[in-house]
Amino acid sequence: MPAASTQHALIAALVIGGLTMAAAWFGASFPPGEWHAALVKPSWNPPNWVFGPVWTLLYLGMAVAAWMVWKAGGQGTHVALTLYVIQLVLNAAWSWLFFGQHRMDLALLDIIVLLVVIVVTCVLFWRIRPMAGILFVPYILWVTFATALNAALWRLNA
């Protein structure tokens, strides 16, 4: 790989990684706290310690997938990466709505839209670089679970 291409790949990795970590940082700035601890939870609610490691791995996979799509280039890359950024914003907004604003109803709407955008992003990533799409599958599964959990928490605590 020529030096210019290596430099561009490094810059892309830093930008994608920076955007992904910014979303993660923003989301993490709204911890569950006492409000969340006081909620009635379904029996299948995971312990709080599970969320940090799971999200760390998911964000890593997401960033690697986005970088792979950027590196592959070609038709559809711009749309796929734009959707990637949109899902990062929706992802970060969920934490603010749920933990920051205590709006489980609006958080549920956000996460449903987020899930749709993640699935579309996964399909587009898959078309450009199949491995990038595969890296999004655990994210889809986790957000599907999180959507059900958000709905259950809202129902139990409304």
DSSP code at position 74? S
* pTM, entire model: 0.93
CB-based contacts of 106, cutoff 8 Å, min separation 6: 97
Q: What is the pLDDT of residue 101?
A: 97
Instruction: Give me the half-sphere count of Cα atoms (radius 13 Å) on the Cβ side of residue 58.
Output: 19
Tokens for 155, please give them: 């129902």
Cα 102 → chain centroid = 20
Check if the beta carbon of residue 108 is closer than 8 Å to that of residue 145.
no
Picking from 32, 72, 46, 60, the residue whose alpha carbon sits closest to that of residue 139 is 60
Stretches where the chain sits below pLDDT 50 are none
Identify which of 88, 32, 100, 31 has the alpha carbon closest to the alpha carbon of residue 59. 88
For domain 3-157, give the fold: Ferritin (1.20.1260)
The pLDDT value given to residue 4: 55
In the chain, what are the domain boundaries? 3-157
CA distance linking residue 62 with residue 132, whole number of Å:
8
SS3 (DSSP) at 68 = helix
Amino acid occupying residue 35: W
